[in-house]
Amino acid sequence: MSDDEIQIIHTISANASRDGNNDICQLCSQNLDGLSVAERQAHYSAHRSGQPIKSQSKRRVSKPVTPSSNKPRPVGPMKFNKKEEDEFWYPAQSKAPPENYSPGLLTILKHALNKSHIRGHTQRAVLCYERTPHIRREWFDASWGCGHHSTNSYRNFLMACAALMDQPTQSLYFPNLDDPTPPGVRNLQQWIESAWQQGYDEIGAKELKRTLVGTTKEIGTGELYVAFTSRRIPSILVDFDLTKGVSGFEKVTTWVVNHFSDSSKKRGSINDVLLGASPVVATDKMPIIMQYEGHSITIVGYELSKSGSVNLLVFDPSMKIRKQVRQAALAGPHSITWASPSSPLHNALHPKASGLLGKSKRRDRSASPVANKRPRPNNESDDDVVNITESEDEGAKGPSQLGAGTYILCPDKLVKGFRLDTSKIRKKKLIQLLYFPMGDPLSDQEQGDRKVVGSVVGR
pLDDT digits (tens, 9 = 90+) for 127-169: 999 999 999 987 655 555 333 455 689 999 999 999 999 999 9
Rounded to an integer, the average pLDDT of 275-299 is 88
Angle separating helix axes 185-197 and 221-230, nearest 10 degrees = 70
Domain end, chosen from 38, 65, 85, is at 85
User: How much is the pLDDT for 247?
Assistant: 80
Average pLDDT in the chain:
75
Is the same domain home to 21 and 147? no
Could you tell me if 193 and 310 lie in one domain? yes
Q: Do 275 and 323 fall within a single domain?
A: yes
pLDDT at 138: 77
| 327 vs 353, residue with greater confidence | 327
Residue 62 has pLDDT above 60, yes or no: no
Clarify whether residues 187 and 244 are in a common domain.
Answer: yes
Burial of 319 per CB tally in 10 Å (0-12, 13-18, 19+)? buried
Is the model's pLDDT at 420 over the cut of 90?
Answer: yes
Residue 269's pLDDT is: 57
Do residues 199 and 332 share a domain? yes
Query: Bigger pLDDT: 312 or 385?
Result: 312
Which among 85, 115, 135 is the end of a domain? 85
Does position 209 have pLDDT exceeding 80, yes or no? Answer: yes
pLDDT of residue 127: 97
Average pLDDT on 10-28 reads 42
Whether 193 contacts 18, CB under 8 Å: no
The pLDDT value recorded for residue 423 is 87
Instruction: Provide the number of structural domains found in the chain.
Output: 2
397 and 386 share a domain? yes
Mean pLDDT across the stretch 46-70? 40
| Domain closes at, from 35, 67, 85 | 85
Are 122 and 220 contained in the same domain? yes
Closest Cα partner for 133 from 329, 331, 419?
329
- The residue range of the domain holding 22 is 1-85
The band of 347, judged by pLDDT with boundaries at 50, 70 and 90, is: very low
Q: Is the domain of 91 the same as that of 81?
A: no
Across 78-87, 151-160, 319-328, 391-400, least confident range = 391-400
| Cα–chain center distance at 443 | 26
- 101 and 65 share one domain: no
pLDDT at 278: 80
- Say which residue, 20 or 416, is predicted with more confidence: 416
Q: Which residues contact 406 (CB under 8 A, 6 or more apart)?
A: 335, 336, 337
Are 81 and 92 part of one and the same domain? Answer: no
Q: How far apart are CA 261 and CA 259, in angstroms?
A: 6
Regarding whether 409 and 262 lie in a shared domain, the answer is yes
Is the domain of 117 the same as that of 182? Answer: yes
